[in-house]
Structure 1
Amino acid sequence: MSGASHSSVSFLDLKISSHRGVPSLWISEEEILTLAAPFKFALVSKFPGRRPSLDVSKKFFFNLKLIGDFSVTVLNPKHVLIILFMT
């Protein structure tokens, strides 16, 4: 369903810090925006009861005949992550 390739993030310059005495990592706003970019056209679907199977979810989006690729990923028993890839 999705032919897009995903690359690893190797640009992060994590700085070890602390916040209110708790160890933390400092990530710049630019790095946060770069990390968030792949999710620009993403949504999380929440099901109040039982979530449909992954195959049923993928088939639903395939039947929409979307122009670009998409990815459907199970996050947990009630949530599915849907990412649309713009071509």
Structure 2
Amino acid sequence: MDLFKFFSKQTPKETASSRLKLILIHDRATVSPDFLENIKRDLLEVIAKYAEIEDEEVDVKLTDTEEIEDSFPALIASIPIKRIKG
């Protein structure tokens, strides 16, 4: 992964392409539209017991793994942590 690309903003074309890929992955995974929201809510509920998080910055995606010939959906969550509770 290119580190500079990670921090740069996506163009509208790249954003649209990413969204289309996510829609196709969701269709292949046969999940309901509320699936990710439910998982996101549950993940945040559990993590909030152990850490303070940036709710506005949370990103949960269903993506396709390309490591295996028969790729399958994978859940990817980016959850910025403000502070670990101790």
TM-score by length of 1: 0.32
Identify the structure with the greater strand proportion: 1
Whichever of the two has the greater Rg, that structure is: 1
TM-score by length of 2: 0.32
